[in-house]
Amino acid sequence: MPDKPKLALYWAASCGGCEIAVVNLHEKILDVDAAVDLMFCPCLLDTKKKDIEALPDGAIAVTLFNGALRTEENIEMAHLLRRKSQLMVAFGSCAKGGCIPALANFTTRDALFDTVYLDNPSTENPAGVIPGGTTTFPEGDIHLPAFLDRVQHLAQQVTVDYYVPGCPPESHQIWNVIETILSGELPPAGSTIGCGALTVCDDCDRTKEEKRISAFRRNYEFYPERETCLLEQGLLCLGIATRSGCGAPCTKANMPCSGCYGAPDGVSDQGAKMVAALGSVMDIGDTAGLSEEAIAARVDAFLSAIPDYAGLFYKYTLASSTLGGRVGRQG
């Protein structure tokens, strides 16, 4: 019997939800086991880095790489697995666009360390110790990989063959991806797979009418109607700027889409798409006879209900966006 193709899963800077999503294939995980040899997955298997280094280049059929690149170790593993894999898949929002870890690009590494280890009401660190470098113990040395100045997504370091969106990807789409790869009938390199080509609004079965919003409201302020478009009720639902394919589970649960599947086809910047969409639906009242300053004041008052522009519009895609983060590289 010929050897089964080798599958690797790697966990970089992420929460671990992508691994849980794979397990959520339920009984289909047995079909995956029958079809491939899962030979590297740090949270499940005891395969070592040296075992991967010993493989011939291209020995791994597919690597599902999840997580953003936050440390030198993440980058080292990205290059190693790229070299050893026939197909490299950016698996999930962190690998595809940076996701939550990349929001750190709005500040500096030093400022982040100050907040986490020094200037924090819940932190007791009188010696001002910031982890890093090599520490020697009787049992041996422990080395912490260097923390990068900026968070990157996977394609900023290595060639990515395919992208699978989601935070995490929906399990039914993971199965679709695995079936597509095993079939050998692959789309063009660079394609986003395991998703749709339209927007979440196309998956959402809520009633949609003319969108004129007189004010934004936040989730805790009211209980939204279950049949009406959430954006039309004033909730900042990103379905209009988010790729379809998830099945709209958030809106079905009466919660707005937060945008985890990223931008739909033809849109290069999800945040910019959402800002443009909001500009077309804001209702600031009759502006006849008002000065430009008065109109601008109404717009500012309207937008003041949005507490965190970056965290809302670029929660999943900052590292791959036009904006990228306003802080440049440190010297």
What does the pLDDT read at residue 326?
Answer: 60
**Each residue's pLDDT tens digit, 88-108:** 999 999 999 999 999 999 999
Residue 302 confidence (pLDDT): 81
Domain boundaries defined on the chain: 6-101+151-183, 108-148, 200-320
Beta strand 60-66 with 147-152: parallel, antiparallel or unpaired? unpaired
228 beta partners: 207
With a cut of 50, which residues of the chain have pLDDT below it?
Answer: 1, 327-331
CA distance 16 to 107: 24
| pLDDT given for residue 323 in this prediction | 78
pLDDT in the model for residue 2: 61
C-alpha angle 58-60-63 in degrees, rounded to nearest 5: 115
pLDDT score for 300: 85
Determine the Cα–Cα distance for residues 59 and 51; give it in Å rounded to an integer.
12
Which residues does residue 152 pair with via DSSP β-bridges, in sequence order? 69
Candidates 317, 330, 331, 326; CA nearest to 152 is 317
Q: Read off the pTM.
A: 0.90
Name the class of domain 6-101+151-183. alpha beta
